[in-house]
Amino acid sequence: MITEETKDCSSVYSSWIGKPVVMLVAIRQCLFPMPCRIVSESAAGVRVWLERGWEVDVRKEMILAVEEVVMENENMVN
């Protein structure tokens, strides 16, 4: 692998790192939403945090969509 060429590539998922998101993931013919936080990204996959102690690698070809979870101020606890 030529590393000089990969340095200039922008990360597709970098804008969502650390933010709460819902990823639409396809496994075989099943589609399911996966609430998580994106931790990091590699060339082939994305590492996501599901809950305390649970991190999972998801292959990029399994991810169909990503949507950021936005909480309204009225739903937040002071």
Give the whole-angstrom CA distance, residue 8 versus residue 69: 29
| All structural domains of the chain | 10-69 (2.30.30.520)
Residue listed under structure tokens 């933010």: 19
Cβ atoms of 24 and 33 within 8 Å: the answer is yes
Nearest one of 57, 55, 68 to 22, comparing CA atoms:
68
Residues 6+ apart with CB under 8 A from 70: none
| Tens-level pLDDT at each residue, the chain (78 residues) | 344 444 545 578 988 999 999 999 999 999 999 999 999 999 999 999 998 889 999 999 999 999 999 876 665 565
Look at residue 72 in the predicted model and tell me its pLDDT.
67
Q: What angle do CA 53, 54, 59 make, to 5 degrees?
A: 150
